[in-house]
Amino acid sequence: MNNCSGKPPAAAFSLFEVIVALGVFAISVLGLAMALDSSVQAALEARERAFARMQLDSRLSACLADPPVSGRRVIEARDNQGVRIEETLIPYEVKTTNNLVVTGLWKLKILADWGDQKKETAEIVLYKP
């Protein structure tokens, strides 16, 4: 600021005010960037989840045609585009109202795991006498 006219000095922003204003602006820009990043991450996660669900449906079909007769079958993530699949087949006991056990029923459970806490499961009861 120029103060050579002999009049009282004109008021201007102090350095502190300028720094506070720039800080507020930087925080708001940072907030916008973080919101943008989180929305992109959410969309990517939704895409991965949809893909994992398609894998579950596909494995369910595969198991109906070729069930894991040994009781457990695992497809590692490196062999399956980053989605680990675990299929289990266990006997499933059902009793009738006459307390008779219905035999030949199996519970097929498929777990798709594609990262930390990112899991989807599907279950179905099969009749294989």
Give the 3-state DSSP-derived string for 14-73, with helices as H, strands as E and coil as C.
CHHHHHHHHHHHHHHHHHHHHHHHHHHHHHHHHHHHHHHHHHHHHHHHHHHHCCCCCCEE
Stretch that binds other proteins, among 2-10, 89-97, 101-109, 113-121 (CB under 8 A): 2-10
Q: Does 58 bind other proteins (CB under 8 A)?
A: yes
Indicate the residue among 93 and 125 with the shorter CB distance to other proteins: 125
Phi/psi of residue 110, each to 5°? -120, 130
Question: What span, in angstroms and rounded, lies between the C-alpha atoms of 108 and 91?
Answer: 9
Considering only 10, 15, 100, 101, the residue that binds other proteins (CB under 8 A) is 10
Binding mask 26-55 for other proteins (x = CB under 8 A): ---x--xx--x--xx--xx-xx--xx--xx
**Residues at the interface with other proteins (CB under 8 A):** 1-2, 5, 7, 10-13, 25, 29, 32-33, 36, 39-40, 43-44, 46-47, 50-51, 54-55, 57-62, 64-66, 81
